[in-house]
Amino acid sequence: MIRIAVSVSYLGDHFFGSQLQPDVRTVEGVFIDTCRQLEIFDDFRDAGFLAAGRTDRGVHARCNVFSFDTEHPERAVDVLNRKLPADTWCNGYAFVEEGFNPRYRALNRTYRYFFPDDGLDLMAMRSASGKFPGVHDFTMFSRTSKRSTIREIHDVSIFSEEDFIVFEVTGKSFLWNMVRRMAAVLYDIGRGECSAGKIDLLLSGDAVARPATAPPEGLVLWNIGYPFDFTAMDERGRSLRYRHNASRRFHVLKKVYDSV
């Protein structure tokens, strides 16, 4: 029995999120179904199937990571991309140790949020985003939860790329809706509707209300870092053809497909 980790990309538009749920289409659901059809494994529980992260309905991924045990690793590497649904594809794989958990072994996670470049003040957004790095209480940027709201942001950047302003943020872990709320505040700053001081108020807990949540369609789970590299998988076939067409259908993510 071999344990394998697979880097997976997907378009979130037609998924009810990534996490397995009964009676609705999810990323984990179609991935597990495909593995069962190919007899890569029979029962996902017995295979120890685990995901590095969860994404909400409409959110996309350039790199999420699934891990599972199989007696047929060559089948996973050689055939998965030919059989997965058209809006899901594998980028790479790595053979990992027994019991490997992609969530807890991750060194960091990077998200990107794509804003339409409709006259936003890039310099104001860039200056304001500099308030995020470091250890902060992100209570006002998340839903109410029993989890600790203390998080460390390693790095942020804001840059222009063709028709978009891109907000990139890297940290060890994030709270539910945290990145989308950060993006919403930066968008308001870019439009001149508030100043960078709003971020200070939110991080200090002195703000009256939580910020809005930016739409899911602009958010991409961009990368998850590990202390090893993934070997590239063959992307020829149905998924690659769909990706080419999807880059025209989902304009806001054109650069994602060109970069994967």
Give residue-wise pLDDT tens across range 58-92.
Answer: 999 999 999 999 999 999 999 999 999 988 999 99
Instruction: Say if residue 141 is in the same domain as residue 90.
Output: no
Instruction: Say if residue 114 is in the same domain as residue 63.
Output: no
Catalytic residue among 13, 33, 42, 56: 56
Instruction: Say if residue 112 is in the same domain as residue 209.
Output: yes
Give residue-wise pLDDT tens across range 78-134.
Answer: 999 999 998 899 999 999 999 999 999 999 999 999 998 889 999 999 999 999 999
Instruction: Say if residue 215 is in the same domain as residue 115.
Output: yes
Instruction: Say if residue 116 is in the same domain as residue 97.
Output: no
Instruction: Say if residue 132 is in the same domain as residue 157.
Output: yes
| Structural domain that includes position 76 | 2-105+227-259
Give mean pLDDT, residues 189-209.
Answer: 90
| Catalytic annotation present for 43 | no
Query: The CATH number of the domain where 252 resides is what?
Result: 3.30.70.580
Instruction: Say if residue 151 is in the same domain as residue 82.
Output: no
Instruction: Say if residue 48 is in the same domain as residue 100.
Output: yes
Instruction: Say if residue 17 is in the same domain as residue 101.
Output: yes
Instruction: Say if residue 121 is in the same domain as residue 136.
Output: yes
Total tally of structural domains belonging to the chain: 2
Give residue-wise pLDDT tens across range 40-64.
Answer: 999 999 999 999 999 999 999 999 9
Give residue-wise pLDDT tens across range 141-179.
Answer: 988 777 899 999 999 999 998 788 999 999 999 999 999
Query: The CATH number of the domain where 117 resides is what?
Result: 3.30.70.660
Instruction: Say if residue 116 is in the same domain as residue 203.
Output: yes
Tell me the pTM: 0.90
SS3 of the chain: CEEEEEEEEECHHHCCCCCCCCCCCCHHHHHHHHHHHCCCCCCCCCCCCEECCCCCCCCEEEEEEEEEEECCHHHHHHHHHHHCCCCEEEEEEEEECCCCCCCCCCCEEEEEEEEECCCCCHHHHHHHHCCCCEEEECHHHCCCCCCCCEEEEEEEEEEEECCEEEEEEEECCCCCCHHHHHHHHHHHHHCCCCCCHHHHHHHHCCCCCCCCCCCHHHEEEEEEECCCCCEECCCCCHHHHHHHHHHHHCHHHHHHHHHC
Instruction: Say if residue 146 is in the same domain as residue 196.
Output: yes
